[in-house]
A and B are shown apart, each in its own frame.
Chain A
Amino acid sequence: EDKVVQSPLSLVVHEGDTVTLNCSYEVTNFRSLLWYKQEKKAPTFLFMLTSSGIEKKSGRLSSILDKKELSSILNITATQTGDSAIYLCAVIVIQGAQKLVFGQGTRLTINP
C-alpha cells in the first residue's frame, strides 16, 4: 500500500521563526513529490520535485527531495501570520494509471 507520512502533524511558532516540515514516502513507482498549501479552501500548488538534491525556491519557501532517504522537506524562513495553513505533501504514483497520494498534512500556526 502506498503511504505518505508527514511530521509534525501540528506546529505552533512565533512570527519570524524558521520552520521545517517533513514528508516521507513509501510507494511503488514514484514519479514526483508535490507540496501544497491549504487555507480555507482547495489546496494551492507550491512545488513539484522530481530530481533528488535540487532545491526549489519561491520567496521564503524552499523544498528539496532526497530519493535515497525517500523524503522531502519544506522550509519556510521569516514566517508571517499569512503562512498559517495546512501544508500537504503528495506523491505521484504510476501504477498503470497515475494517482496522487497525500500525507495527513501539517497544520502550521504562526503567532504574532
Chain B
Amino acid sequence: DAGITQSPRHKVTETGTPVTLRCHQTENHRYMYWYRQDPGHGLRLIHYSYGVKDTDKGEVSDGYSVSRSKTEDFLLTLESATSSQTSVYFCAAWGVTGFFYGYTFGSGTRLTVV
C-alpha cells in the first residue's frame, strides 16, 4: 500500500541465523506494528511502537526483537531463526495515508526458515 514499504519481499534463511526485516513509512505515522500471519490464526501481533525508541510486546513476541531509531523505520529482528518462525510478516501503521485514515499495511514479507 502507498506509504509503507517492506523489505525484503521474500527471504529464505537457515535455522540459527539472525534475520532483520525492515518496514519503512513516509507518512510520519506515530504507531507502527509487526504482525505474523499463519493459516488458521489471522494476524498475530508481535511487537508495536508508539514513537521513536518506544516499543512494546504483542502476543507472540518470543524470539523477536524490534528497534525504532527513526520515525520512518521499524525493524523486526529474529535473533536466531527457527522453523516455527516461517511465516508471512506484515507491517502496519496507523494514521492518515493519502485520503485514508486508519491502519495501512505493507505488502508483506514471506520468510522461510529451513
Residues of A in contact with B (beta carbons under 8 Å apart): 1, 4, 6, 9, 34, 41-43, 45, 48, 88, 90, 96-105
Contacts and interface: CB of A to CB of B under 8 A. Distances in A.
B22 interface: no
Contacts of B106: 42
A45 B100 contact: yes
B102 A48 contact: yes
A104 B48 contact: no
23 contacts: A1-B59, A6-B42, A41-B107, A42-B90, A42-B105, A42-B108, A43-B43, A43-B90, A45-B102, A45-B103, A48-B102, A90-B43, A96-B50, A97-B31, A97-B56, A98-B50, A98-B94, A99-B45, A99-B58, A100-B45, A101-B45, A102-B42, A102-B43
A98 B45 contact: no
Contacts of B107: 41-42
Contact of A34 (B33, B42, B102): B102
A103 B58 contact: no
A104 B41 CA distance: 4
A96 B90 CA distance: 23
Interface of B: 1, 31, 33, 35, 40-45, 48, 50, 54, 56, 58-59, 90, 92, 94, 100, 102-103, 105-108
A85 to B, nearest CB: 13
Given A1-B59, A42-B1, 19 more contacts: A41-B108, A42-B90, A45-B100, A45-B102, A88-B43, A97-B56, A98-B50, A98-B94, A99-B33, A99-B45, A99-B48, A100-B103, A101-B45, A102-B43, A102-B44, A102-B45, A103-B42, A104-B41, A105-B42
Contacts of B1: 42
Given A98-B31, A98-B94, A100-B33, A43 B105 contact: yes
A97 B48 contact: yes
